[in-house]
Amino acid sequence: MKTLIRWGATLGLVASTILCSGLYQSRSAFALPQEEIFKLLRGIPVFMLVNDKNVPLGGKIDEQTMFTNVFMSKQNAHEFLIQLKKDKPSIADQYKVELISLGAIYEVSQKNSNESQRLALQYIPTKTEVESAKPILSEDGKEYRGGVPLYILKGGPEQNYLTIKQDGETIIPIFFENQTIQQVINNLKQQESDQATNLKIEVILLGNLIGTLEKEDNEFFRKIRLWPSQEMMKIIQENRQN
């Protein structure tokens, strides 16, 4: 969190945008370019169950749609595999937990989806973040209905979204972990500025965010950066050379 302070956390003047959308609606002419979405997701490590040919474990939603689980935590992926070994050992023995970039698997899903078939990604959250997100949603009169919760911070006199300076670029961080955004709030309060007044956390869902980016393109979305959880950060550091 010292890195945030060095960057100088400020609350920028950005437009408020409602991030809600279906994940697999058709892309419009004004959608964020796919390469930009790949780039946004590329730095996020996630986990899947794959066989020795690197084909992910999947299931059918309907005749046109296959799905596969994408886990935000290695532990969750292993727990799923352990349960699968109890329920369907002959299938489970063919699979292992594999680390992959969220951007990479999203790119695969896009390239394997067309008018006749679709590969849907089912994002699996951690129990900790689900429990952290529920009361925040409840305060806004909303209910958690599944999906990976993300956290975005707004505040200041005009309730603008938090922006940070990173390598000379102004970005809007969206956090995978409530604990991290609480540290940001504590740091802002220590600064005792107008920027640290009326701070409010909003919860959005990863799937909804991606779905919105598939349909919308504006300056707000181009400033978004996903902030990994502490577990993800550790994985990134351990696999930096790869």
Structural domains in the chain plus CATH codes? 2-236 (3.40.1350.100)
Query: Is the pLDDT confidence value at 230 over 80?
Result: yes
pLDDT band at 1; cut points 50, 70, 90: very low
CA distance 35 to 222: 12
11: helix, strand or coil: strand
Which tokens go with 102?
């969220």
50-80 tens-digit pLDDT? 988 888 898 888 888 888 999 999 999 999 9
pLDDT of residue 119: 85
181-221 tens-digit pLDDT? 998 888 888 876 666 778 899 999 999 999 999 988 888 88
Kindly give, in sequence order, each residue whose CB lies less than 8 Å from that of residue 168, ignoring residues fewer than 6 positions away. none
pLDDT of residue 242: 58
CA distance 68 to 51: 13
Identify the CA nearest to 82 among candidates 49, 129, 117, 119: 49
Query: Is the pLDDT confidence value at 120 over 80?
Result: yes
Residue percentage of the chain with pLDDT more than 70: 85
221 versus 7: the higher-pLDDT residue is: 221
91-109 tens-digit pLDDT? 899 999 999 999 999 998 9
Query: Is the pLDDT confidence value at 27 over 50?
Result: no
Tell me which of 115-129, 193-207, 210-224, 226-240 is least confident: 193-207
Kindly give, in sequence order, each residue whose CB lies less than 8 Å from that of residue 240, ignoring residues fewer than 6 positions away. none
pLDDT of residue 94: 92
143-188 tens-digit pLDDT? 999 999 999 998 877 778 888 887 888 889 999 999 999 988 888 8
Which tokens go with 204?
């959005």
Mean of pLDDT over the chain: 82
Output the 3-class SS for the chain.
CHHHHHHCEEECCCCCCCCCCCCCCCCCCCCCCHHHHHHHHHCCEEEEEECCCCCECEEECCCCEEEEEEECCHHHHHHHHHHHHHHCHHHHCCCEEEEEEHHHHHHHHHHCCCCCCEEEEEEECCHHHHHHHHHHHHHCCCCCCCCCEEEEEEECCCCEEEEEEECCEEEEEEECCHHHHHHHHHHHHHHCCHHHCCCEEEEEEHHHHHHHHCCCCCHHHHHEEEECCHHHHHHHHHCCCC
How many angstroms separate the Cα of 234 from the Cα of each of 49, 97, 231?
Answer: 21, 17, 5
1: helix, strand or coil: coil
Tell me which of 13-27, 115-129, 143-157 is least confident: 13-27
pLDDT of residue 159: 79
pLDDT of residue 188: 81
Identify the CA nearest to 180 among candidates 128, 236, 117: 128
